[in-house]
Amino acid sequence: MRLSTNSASAQIGNVKIQGLFRVIELDASDSAETKCLKTPNGTGTKKANDNTKVAFSCESLRAIESRTAIVIPCMNEEQDILDGVLRGVPHDCLIILVSNSDPLKFEAERELLTEFCNDAQRQGIVVHQQDECLAQAFHAAGMPDIVLDPSLSQESGMRIRSGKGEAMMISVAIAKLAGKDFIGFIDADNLVPSAVHEYCKVYAAGLHYALHHTDTAEAHAMVRIKWNSKPKVKDNKLVLEKYGRSSLLVNEWMNRFLDAVVDGDTQDALIQTGNAGEHAMSLDLAMELRFATRYAVEPFQLIDAWEQFGSPTPPTPSDARNVHILQIGTRSPHFHDTSKGDGHITRMQVEGLSTIYHSRLTPQTLKDELRAYMKATFPREVNADGEPEKMRVYPPMAKMNFEVLDAALKETGVLTVVGE
């Protein structure tokens, strides 16, 4: 793969987020050396108009992929769509399927993953989010917050809360127990297997770049994808929208937040991945970040990185590692299942904006502006003053006892490991 880099960036404490990189070439050939090439106009400085090309050999990408778990959170998706997603994941990646589907759907998903992994001679892991033994294991390992109070549930016994953030936490724990160094997330409703494949290759290229093309060794790394377009049919024509409605809104306010925090010294619209459902990171970063519930999970990752690693109050520990966040624009359009309607769009917008509003880094003037906007735009989703609900946030998973978790999961056999 070959990428065009972007030296525009913003730095908050130990956290550096870069402007949008772009995929130039999906396959830079087997013989490509992983290296940077300056264009004739490149000066070597960090100005926004620097244009550096970076090629990644197949070998260097596979070196990352073999250490990566690709997670597919799933809830009652169509079997043929999920089948295509599975087939788009590069062979050397471990597939982790975390399902919150109905029981019959889950059995079909497990059979689908088993058949695919056996045919492809690869390994996969599947688990149901609502399995009582899984909840008991997390509770015993020191993460009781993720477990729903039985008195609030219609079902008896422990259950992990429903939500994408919770599914991601489950997968992080599984990836750690599997000995992986990186973790990436792919939506289960992607209609194009080749797009899934490109996203995974972008993860590998971005993680390689963030870890090996930086002035600081041992940096945390995160890669957030901006898809090329989100096609929609309007007036019987296919329109290639560059942003979804939620992304457009959350990005706008996230950039205003960033501009306020760094005193206006940023590039216009630097953040283009505030709502990035497709993203990857080093597993040690996933262990230190806090996860939010529901649709807040992706924007909150940026907020929490800035709060934990970039905030002067409380001071960032002197031995804290740097965090390098890349945003990469893909070539594939993002075709996804639209049969579920638009009812979730408003929730995505409000919950994303809530992470900005409730951040301790948000200046009061920006908070007042955001509250007024939400009161006028989403009167049914906020209180009378325009204040959004504060999303549930979990402690970092690094606080868990993974020896206890591993023993509990093995004892109950809650994880289904399939394939070679």
Please tell me which residue, 395 or 232, carries the higher pLDDT value.
395
pLDDT above 90: residue 230: no
The domains of the chain are located at 2-419
* 15-25 and 2-4 strand pairing: antiparallel
User: Which residues lie closer than 8 Å to 389 by C-beta, 6 or more apart?
Assistant: 350, 351, 354, 382
Residue 277, token pair as written in the block? 């459902």
The mean pLDDT value of the chain amounts to 89
Read off the pLDDT band of 45 (50, 70, 90).
very low
The answer to whether the pTM exceeds 0.75 is yes
Classify residue 95 as left (phi > 0), alpha (psi -120 to 50) or beta. Answer: beta
pLDDT above 90: residue 313: no
Rounded-to-integer distance, Cα 203 and Cα 208, Å: 8
- Supply the pLDDT for residue 262: 84
pLDDT above 80: residue 35: no
- Supply the pLDDT for residue 341: 60
Beta bridge mates, 22: 4, 329
CB-CB contact of 172 with 287 (8 Å): yes
pLDDT above 80: residue 179: yes
Q: What percent of the chain has pLDDT above 90?
A: 73
CATH 3.90.550.10 fits 2-419, yes or no: yes
Beta bridge mates, 23: 3
Average pLDDT over residues 145-172: 86
CB-CB contact of 97 with 72 (8 Å): yes
- Crossing angle of helices 402-412 and 164-177, in 10° steps, is 90
pLDDT above 70: residue 373: yes
pLDDT above 60: residue 38: no
The lowest-confidence range among 42-46, 75-79, 169-173, 261-265 is: 42-46
- Supply the pLDDT for residue 187: 94
Closest CA to 134 of 110, 100, 185, 183: 100
Read off the pLDDT band of 251 (50, 70, 90).
very high
Please tell me which residue, 195 or 321, carries the higher pLDDT value.
195
Q: What is the pLDDT of residues 133-148, one digit of tens each?
A: 999 999 999 999 999 8
* 15-25 and 220-226 strand pairing: unpaired
SS3 state at 287: helix
